[in-house]
Structures are given as structure tokens and as C-alpha cells.
Amino acid sequence: MLELLQGPLLISLLAAMVRIATPLLFSAMGELVTQRAGIWNIAVEGTMLIGAIVAYMVASTTGSPWLALAIAILACAASSLIMSFVTIVLKAEQFVAGLALNLLASGVTLFWFQAYIGGREAPTFIGFDQVPIPYLSDIPILGPVLFSQRLLTYVSFLVPILVWFFLYRTKYGLEVRCVGENPKALDVKGLHVGLRQCLAIMFGSMMSGFGGAFLMLGYSDKFVPDLIAGRGWLVVVAIIAGNWMPFRIVGAIFIFAFLEALGIHAQVVGIPVPHQLFLVLPYVASLVLLAGLRSRTHQPVALGIPYNRE
């Protein structure tokens, strides 16, 4: 285990951590906005999967990863309308709607994938490449870890700051938080609660799709049905463990990413422990985190409660 903490291997470990964490940052920050608006949308896993499969089909057909990213995000915006309809218009149980959407997404992606490849070898594509930032990438340790990543990774560093700014420093952010805490107050002022929730769900889904598409386009060359493998659920865990505060959520995500990176490297170094033990670490850690960090002080009061006038 100790050899993991030496020079080049440590740098590789930390770089892997950043690589694994960043797609999740997009999804987590989107889901945070949705949840702050009082919508308990557990369909992150399914939405990421839709983002990934759409990105895969577009990228392997057209060869353009940027177009693939854009269409994947649009597809997820469209799929968010299902969630909005069921939870805001019909006011069905939000958890159940999310569960249904997850099941639908895993079914539809499997079907699309099988129909798309239709018995041939799954086509591959060329995704996003690394773009080292000049000068910054030459800094020892920090350079290779932070500044020799993909373009979208650098963007992802900014996302939590932007979302924090939106939520706590803008009028619209205040309204979103108000929808999650006290929707009646907003309604009394004549502001439309459902519209804001609908937009929050759409933003969350687009960001989840962004994360899924980035995972697909940045780190892989062909789709596999278990590509997301529970990462959408880890995002939901990170939000609870991070007590609905942007930067704590980032911390939780980096913990999961570090454990996953550790697993990959332990396999490379050849530590004589079954590799599944390392693969399971993030999920075990999430249980420990949730049991340990029990503070729910920033959980939106109206989270998961459909808003009814009257």
C-alpha cells in the first residue's frame, strides 16, 4: 500500500481522482439546484445514462464530440419534462416518479444500444482529448494533477462556484431556495412555484446529462450498458452527506473519486487483494459517510413535498 504514496504513482493517483470526480461535479451541482427547489429527484442515475447513450450515438455517427455533448444535454432537458409533468402537474410521489424514470432510462438505453448496434461490433468514436494548460501544467505535482486534464475538467472546477453564486447571490437563486423552504411565501407574492420547480428540474437534468455525456466522451470510446454503474446514486449520497451545501458536496465527491482512483491503482500495482474489494469501496464509504454525517440542517424543508395551493 505504501508504494502508492510515492512520487509518480501518487501524481497518477491524484490525477485519476480529479479525472473521476469532475463529471460527477456537473451532475451533483445540477441535482443540488433541483433539490434546493424542493424536488427530490432520484433519477440522476437514469438521466446520466440517457446523456451517455445519446452522446455515444451522436459521437459515433457524426464524429463530433461537441455536437454529441450538445444533443445529449438537449435530450436530458426533454426527458426532464416527464419528471416535471408527473411531479408538478400530477403531484405524484417524487421518489416513485424518479424510480420509474430510472427504470425507464435503463430499459430505453439498453434497447437503443441493442437496436443501434444491431448485431454488429459496437462502433467506437474519438472523444475529448487532454488539453494541458501552457505553463500551469509545468508546475510540479499540481501541473499534472490539475492542469493536464480535459477542457471540460477545467470548466467543472468553475461549476460549483457558479452554482454557489447563483444560489446565494442572485435573486433567482433566492427564489429557488425559497421554493424549497417555503413555497407558499413565493406563491403569496404572485410568483409561480411550479414554473420555478420545472426549470430547476430541467437544469438539474441537463447537468446530469452533461455529467453522463462527459463520462462517455471523455474517458471511453464505446458505450457499455453499465457505464454509469451507480455514480448517479453516489451523487445523491454526496448531496445528503454534504448537507445541501455546494462546497461540502464537492468534498464528498472527491472522497468517492479518491477511493475509486485508489482501487484502479491498487490493481495496477498488483496488491494481492481481490480487485472487487477496491471497486466496492465508494459504496461502502457512502454508507459510512451517511451514518457518520447526520447533520441535515440545510435540507430544504419542503424537499419531496408536492406543493398544493389551498
Residues at the contact surface with other proteins, assessed by CB under 8 A: 42, 82, 85-86, 90-92, 95-97, 99-101, 103-108, 110-116, 230, 233, 236-237, 240, 274, 276-277, 279-280, 283-284, 286-287, 290-291, 294
Would you say 185 or 287 has its CB closer to other proteins?
287
Of 103 and 142, the one with the shorter C-beta distance to other proteins is 103
Q: Which is nearer to other proteins, 143 or 306 (CB)?
A: 306
> What is the spatial distance between Cα 228 and Cα 190, in angstroms, rounded to a whole number?
41
* Rg of the chain over all Cα atoms, to the nearest angstrom: 20
Shortest separation between residue 268's beta carbon and other proteins, angstroms = 17
Cα gap 81→277, rounded to integer Å: 39
Nearest distance from C-beta of residue 223 to other proteins, angstroms = 13
Residues 2 and 222: their CA atoms lie apart, in Å, by 34
Q: Measured between alpha carbons, how far is 142 from 20 in angstroms, rounded to an integer?
A: 16
Minimum distance from residue 118 beta carbon to other proteins (Å):
8
C-alpha closest to that of 36 among 196, 254, 195: 196
Q: Which is nearer to other proteins, 39 or 146 (CB)?
A: 39
Q: Which is nearer to other proteins, 116 or 164 (CB)?
A: 116
Write down the least CB distance from residue 94 to other proteins, Å.
11
Nearer to other proteins, 133 or 245 (CB): 245
Q: In whole angstroms, how close is the CB of 229 to other proteins at the nearest point?
A: 8
Cβ closer to other proteins: 50 or 178?
50
Nearest-approach distance from CB 143 to other proteins, in angstroms: 34
Least gap, CB of 6 to other proteins (angstroms): 27
